[in-house]
Amino acid sequence: MGYRVAVVGATGNVGREMFNILEEVKFPVEKMHAIASRKSIGAEVSFGSQIIKCEDLEQFDFSKVDIVLMSAGGSISAAWAEKIGAAGAIVIDNSSHFRMDPDVPLVVPEVNPDAVNSLPKNIIANPNCSTAQLVVVLAPLHAEAKIKRVVVSTYQSVSGAGKEGMDELWEQTKGVFVLGAPEPKKFTKQIAFNVIPHIDVFMEDGFTKEEWKMMAETKKILDPSIKLTATAVRVPVMVGHAESVNIEFETPLDEDDVREILRDAEGVEVIDKRENGGYMTPKESAGEFPVYVSRIRTDPTVDNGIALWCVADNLRKGAALNAVQIAQLLHDKGLIKQKTPA
Ligand SMILES: NC(=O)C1=CN([C@@H]2O[C@H](COP(=O)(O)OP(=O)(O)OC[C@H]3O[C@@H](n4cnc5c(N)ncnc54)[C@H](OP(=O)(O)O)[C@@H]3O)[C@@H](O)[C@H]2O)C=CC1
Ligand SMILES: N[C@@H](CC(=O)OP(=O)(O)O)C(=O)O
């Protein structure tokens, strides 16, 4: 038994990871389709031992698939997801377009798995990459001692800005030592040997949209009462987002309790030795499934305060892995309707 699956955005950073992870977790696939733009028709992508040729989104007949994993950006999701859902396939959408839609659940399977039980539009939204890794860490702590406030600063890799972001870091890094760094195109300033406190567009209040997403999405997934403030920063790392997190609880939770709770938490791995190398870095998280937590310590500047560091592969837990976990959850709950092949 297997499903007919389509990956939209198949040639992208996230799309390629979707194929890898669907194969790694042995998701039951009967037929796989790779969908991208017209310019990629015939481009080859790997799915396990199979080589699949890309098809054009505009020409594809979605009535022949059971489940669609979308990661081609917000405008493509806006134009296509509801039509595909209405035609009977479940859409798991990686873009930000539907995340705050009240008729679309925003799901991190370790945190709010039952949100998939009601699917009025046949669409499920995958959160922002920085939100996903954060809520996996916050949820088990919130269950133990209610969280009042979170202050988070991110260190986000260039792969979060797609293939073009990775190319820009690579070209600038090489260029600095040879002909001078090429002018920024994808980022607002030179990213090689630099950090940029600006991801997504600026909002009226001075926060960026990336920071706003972390606040709004955490409330939707975990608890509207949690106050969260974020500063999102792009760093010259290829894959892996890191976050420095300060958490204020309503009741006391000491650092040993936090370590213990997180050791038992689904999707989390604690690597926390107070010695050289006893913590995780983004590079080490690349290609891995868990959210790694290190540097757990008491924050003595507030009542019931804890500080910690968390790291995850943004293309995996921040995008493709979370989407595939949602697909597995739907499968386990028997929520994917298989259409009869034509
Ligand atoms: N990277 C991350 O950490 C995260 C990404 N996302 C979401 O996933 C999306 C994709 O990210 P990422 O893979 O990194 O981006 P990439 O730039 O690496 O890939 C974009 C993909 O979208 C396809 N695409 C673009 N325009 C069209 C079109 N008009 N019709 C059909 N397909 C199209 C591209 O196909 P082609 O090669 O043919 O142009 C390509 O497959 C993001 O826009 C975002 O919404 C969400 C969370 C985290
Ligand atoms: N904004 C994220 C990646 C992303 O695509 O996020 P979103 O899906 O929320 O637009 C980053 O740059 O690292």
Per-residue pLDDT of 98-156, as tens digits, reads 999 999 999 999 999 999 999 999 999 999 999 999 999 999 999 999 999 999 999 99
In Å, how far from its chain's centre is CA 130? 7
Question: What confidence score (pLDDT) does residue 173 get?
Answer: 94
Full-prediction pTM beyond 0.95? yes
Q: Which residues are annotated as a binding site for substrate?
A: 156, 234
Q: Which residues are annotated as a binding site for NADP(+)?
A: 11-14, 39-40, 159-160, 314
DSSP one-letter code for 251: S
Mean of pLDDT values over 174-191: 89
Atom 9, ligand 2: residue with shortest CA distance: 128
Burial class (CB in 10 A: 0-12, 13-18, 19+), 6: buried
Q: Which range among 25-39, 42-56, 166-180 shows the weakest confidence by mean pLDDT? A: 166-180
Question: What confidence score (pLDDT) does residue 280 get?
Answer: 98
Q: Which domains does the chain have, with CATH numbers?
A: 3-127+320-332 (3.40.50.720), 130-314 (3.30.360.10)
Q: What are the backbone angles phi and psi of residue 35, rounded to the nearest 5°? A: -120, 135
Question: What confidence score (pLDDT) does residue 267 get?
Answer: 98
**pLDDT tens digits, 67-108:** 999 999 999 999 999 999 999 999 999 999 999 999 999 999
Distance of alpha carbon 259 from alpha carbon 247, whole angstroms: 14
Percent over 90 (pLDDT), the chain = 96
**H helix intervals, the chain:** 13-24, 74-86, 129-144, 162-176, 209-221, 255-263, 282-285, 321-332
Examine the pLDDT at 179 and tell me if it is beyond 90. Answer: no
Distance of alpha carbon 231 from alpha carbon 197, whole angstroms: 7
Q: Which ligand is nearest to the CA of 77?
A: 1
Mutate to test the pocket of ligand 1, among 21, 37, 93, 107 (most ligand atoms within 8 A of CB): 37
Q: What angle do CA 212, 8, 243 make, to 5 degrees?
A: 30
User: How far does residue 275's CA lie from ligand 2's centre (Å)?
Assistant: 33
Q: Which residues are annotated as a binding site?
A: 11-14, 39-40, 99, 156, 159-160, 234, 314
Burial class (CB in 10 A: 0-12, 13-18, 19+), 5: buried
User: How far does residue 10's CA lie from ligand 2's centre (Å)?
Assistant: 17
- Residue 227 confidence class, pLDDT cut points 50, 70, 90: very high
Average pLDDT over all residues of the chain: 97
Mean of pLDDT values over 237-244: 98
Mutate to test the pocket of ligand 2, among 129, 131, 202 (most ligand atoms within 8 A of CB): 129
Question: What confidence score (pLDDT) does residue 102 get?
Answer: 98
Give 312's Cβ-side CA count (13 Å radius): 29
Whether 241 is catalytic is: yes
Question: What confidence score (pLDDT) does residue 176 get?
Answer: 87
**CA distances for 199 relative to 166, 211, 215, 308, 326, angstroms:** 15, 8, 14, 22, 26
Whether 142 is catalytic is: no
Question: What confidence score (pLDDT) does residue 180 get?
Answer: 78
Q: Please list every protein residue whose CB sits less than 6 Å from any atom of ligand 1.
A: 9-15, 36-37, 39-40, 57, 71-74, 76, 94-95, 129, 159-160, 162-163, 314-315, 318-319
ipTM over 0.90: yes
Q: Which ligand is nearest to the CA of 75?
A: 1
Task: Write the CB contacts of 332 (distance below 8 Å, at least 6 apart in sequence).
Answer: none
Question: What confidence score (pLDDT) does residue 341 get?
Answer: 59
